[in-house]
Amino acid sequence: MAAYEMVARALVLAFYAYALAGTAFAAVFTVFGVQRIDRLAKGSGPGFRILIFPGSVALWPLLLRRWISGRTEPPAEREPHR
């Protein structure tokens, strides 16, 4: 097996691991976590949770960090126009 094949297999395996971890996280997050980090999501229905599921899978490290930190509001922007 050539070196580039091993690198390609490692990248695909890493992608699968990331997607699997994201899917497991999103299943829990959309049920329990979203209302803890976003006060406007409290009382939202299943349609909203289905819509945010793919984004939760893709962005799970950021959402997990925010969920663990307990922040409920998005961070303030620090751009010069504000």
Please give the angle made by the CA atoms of 15, 21 and 22, to the nearest 5 degrees.
85
Q: What percent of the chain has pLDDT over 90?
A: 68
Q: How long is the chain?
A: 82
**Residue 20 exposed, middle or buried by CB count within 10 Å (0-12, 13-18, 19+):** exposed
- pLDDT at residue 41 in the model: 86
The residue extents of the domains of the chain are: 14-69
- For the cut 80, the answer to whether the pLDDT of residue 56 exceeds it is yes
Residue 30 in 3-state DSSP?
A: helix
Residue 35 in 3-state DSSP?
A: helix
Where is mean pLDDT largest: 11-20, 35-44, 61-70?
A: 11-20
Given pLDDT bands bounded at 50, 70 and 90, which one contains residue 12? very high
